[in-house]
C-alpha cells in the first residue's frame, strides 16, 4: 500500500487484496481526480478537496464495539444515542471531519497529528479501515524517528486490523497483512540490534593512567592457596590424636578387666580344690564349676576387646596423624611458594610486584 496517502476503503466495497490497494493508492497519488474514494450510498458525493470518510457497513452495526481481540474500543454516548431531529449522529458527524484532518496532516508529514486524528475518529466510529491508516502513520513516523516503539505500535494496530480482515474478507487479504507484519517484525529486530550496538559502542572504557608518577601495585592471588591444606592437616592431626587416645584408653580398660577375671578365676579354682570336687559331684562343686566357666569366658572376651577395639582405634589414629601431617606439610609448602612469587620490579605504569626465587 502506498505510503503517500492513507487509502480508505468503504466497508461496502467488494473484496480487495492489499496488492490491489497498492495499485489504487498509487493511482490516487498520481491523479488528483482519482484520489477520493467512491462515495457511499446515502452520503453526499465527496469532492477532490474533501475526501470521503469510510463508514461502517450498516449490517455490522455502525458505532458498535468491534471485537478486535485486543483492547475494546469504547464508543461515546453521543455515538449511541441518535436524534433524528438534530441531524446526523454526533459520532458519525465528527468522525469524517477528524479523518479529513488526519489525512491532511499525513500528507503534510505531520504523522503524530495524523495518528491522533485517526485514533479520535476510530473512537467515534470504529471503521476497521482506520486501523490500517493508524498503523501506516506509525510506520511513516518511524522513518523519521527510527524509534522502535513506533514499529511496535504499528504491529499492535495492524494485528487488530488483521483480525477484522479475517472476520470480513471485504477489507483485504489476511495473508498480505501477515506478510506486512512479518516485515515489521524484521524491522523491530533490526532496530533493537542497532540499539544494542550503539549501547556497546558508547559504554565508557577504563582510561589509561595519565599520571607519570610511579605508583606501587601489588599483584597477589586473592588468598593463600596452601591455607586449605594446612587447615585440613591440623583437623586431621587432631582427629588422629583423639583416635589414638581412645584406642589406648580402650586397651587399658579391657586389659584391666581381663586381669580382674583372671584373679577371680584363680580364686574359684582354689576353692574347688579345697572342696575336693575332683571326681565327685555336689551342689557346691557344680556351682563352682559354672562360675569357673563364666569367668573364663568373660576373661577371653575382655582380651579380645582389648586387642580388637583398642588396636583398631589406635591404628586409625595413627593413619589420621600421618595424613594430617602430610596435608599440613603440603599446605605449608604451597604457602611458601605463594609468598616467594612476590618480587618488586619497575614498570612503565609504576612498580609491580612479581618475579621468581
Q: Given strand 216-217, what is the order of strands in its sheet? A: 216-217, 350-353, 344-347
Three-class DSSP category at 213: coil
Report the C-alpha gap between 253 and 247 in whole angstroms. 10
Report the C-alpha gap between 118 and 130 in whole angstroms. 6
Report the C-alpha gap between 76 and 328 in whole angstroms. 85
How many degrees, rounded to 5, is the angle at CA 100 between CA 96 and CA 106? Answer: 140
For the stretch 102-135, pLDDT in tens is 999 999 999 999 999 999 999 999 988 899 999 9
Whether the predicted model's global pTM rises above the 0.95 cut: no
Report the C-alpha gap between 205 and 55 in whole angstroms. 59
Report the C-alpha gap between 118 and 131 in whole angstroms. 8
Residue of 70 and 237 predicted with greater confidence: 237
For the stretch 303-340, pLDDT in tens is 888 778 878 888 898 998 899 899 888 888 877 776 77
Domain-wise residue ranges, the chain: 18-79+86-192, 217-353
Report the C-alpha gap between 214 and 220 in whole angstroms. 19
- Quick one: pLDDT at residue 116? 94
Report the C-alpha gap between 31 and 13 in whole angstroms. 21
Judge whether residue 159 has pLDDT over 60: yes
Report the C-alpha gap between 102 and 118 in whole angstroms. 6
Residues 6+ apart with CB under 8 A from 275: 282, 284, 285, 288
Judge whether residue 274 has pLDDT over 50: yes
Q: Look up residue 313 and give its three cell numbers.
A: 582405634
For the stretch 142-152, pLDDT in tens is 988 888 899 99
CATH of span 18-79+86-192: 1.25.40.10
Amino acid at each position: 500500500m502506498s505510503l503517500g496517502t492513507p487509502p480508505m476503503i468503504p466497508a461496502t466495497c467488494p473484496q480487495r487484496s492489499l496488492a490491489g490497494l497498492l495499485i489504487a493508492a498509487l493511482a490516487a497519488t498520481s491523479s488528483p481526480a482519482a484520489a477520493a474514494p467512491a462515495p457511499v450510498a446515502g452520503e453526499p458525493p465527496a469532492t477532490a478537496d474533501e475526501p470521503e470518510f469510510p463508514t461502517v457497513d450498516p449490517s455490522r452495526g455502525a458505532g458498535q464495539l468491534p471485537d478486535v481481540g485486543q483492547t475494546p474500543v469504547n464508543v461515546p454516548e453521543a455515538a449511541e444515542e441518535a436524534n433524528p431531529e438534530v441531524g446526523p449522529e454526533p459520532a458519525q458527524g465528527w468522525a469524517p471531519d477528524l479523518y479529513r484532518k488526519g489525512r491532511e496532516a499525513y500528507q503534510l508529514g505531520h504523522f503524530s497529528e495524523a495518528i491522533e486524528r485517526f485514533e479520535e475518529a476510530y473512537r467515534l466510529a470504529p471503521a476497521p479501515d482506520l486501523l490500517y491508516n493508524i498503523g501506516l502513520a506509525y510506520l511513516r513516523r518511524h522513518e523519521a524517528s527510527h524509534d522502535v516503539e513506533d514499529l511496535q505500535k504499528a504491529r499492535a494496530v495492524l494485528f487488530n486490523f488483521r483480525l477484522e480482515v479475517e472476520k470480513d474478507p471485504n477489507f483485504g487479504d489476511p495473508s498480505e497483512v501477515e506478510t506486512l507484519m512479518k516485515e515489521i517484525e524484521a524491522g523491530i529486530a533490526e532496530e533493537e540490534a542497532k540499539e544494542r550496538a550503539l549501547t556497546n559502542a558508547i559504554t565508557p572504557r577504563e582510561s589509561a593512567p595519565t599520571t607519570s608518577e610511579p605508583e606501587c601495585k601489588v599483584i597477589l592471588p586473592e588468598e593463600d592457596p596452601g591455607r586449605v591444606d594446612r587447615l585440613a592437616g591440623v583437623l586431621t592431626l587432631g582427629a588422629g590424636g583423639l583416635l589414638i587416645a581412645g584406642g589406648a584408653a580402650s586397651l587399658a580398660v579391657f586389659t584391666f578387666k581381663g586381669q580382674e577375671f583372671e584373679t577371680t578365676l584363680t580364686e574359684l579354682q582354689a576353692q574347688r580344690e579345697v572342696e575336693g570336687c575332683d571326681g565327685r559331684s555336689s551342689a557346691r562343686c557344680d556351682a563352682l564349676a559354672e562360675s569357673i566357666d563364666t569367668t573364663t569366658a568373660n576373661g577371653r572376651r575382655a582380651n579380645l576387646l582389648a586387642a580388637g577395639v583398642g588396636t583398631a582405634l589406635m591404628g586409625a589414629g595413627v593413619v589420621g596423624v600421618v595424613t594430617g601431617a602430610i596435608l599440613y606439610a603440603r599446605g605449608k609448602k604451597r604457602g611458601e611458594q605463594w609468598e616467594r612469587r612476590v618480587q618488586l620490579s619497575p614498570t612503565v605504569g609504576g612498580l609491580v610486584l612479581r618475579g621468581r626465587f
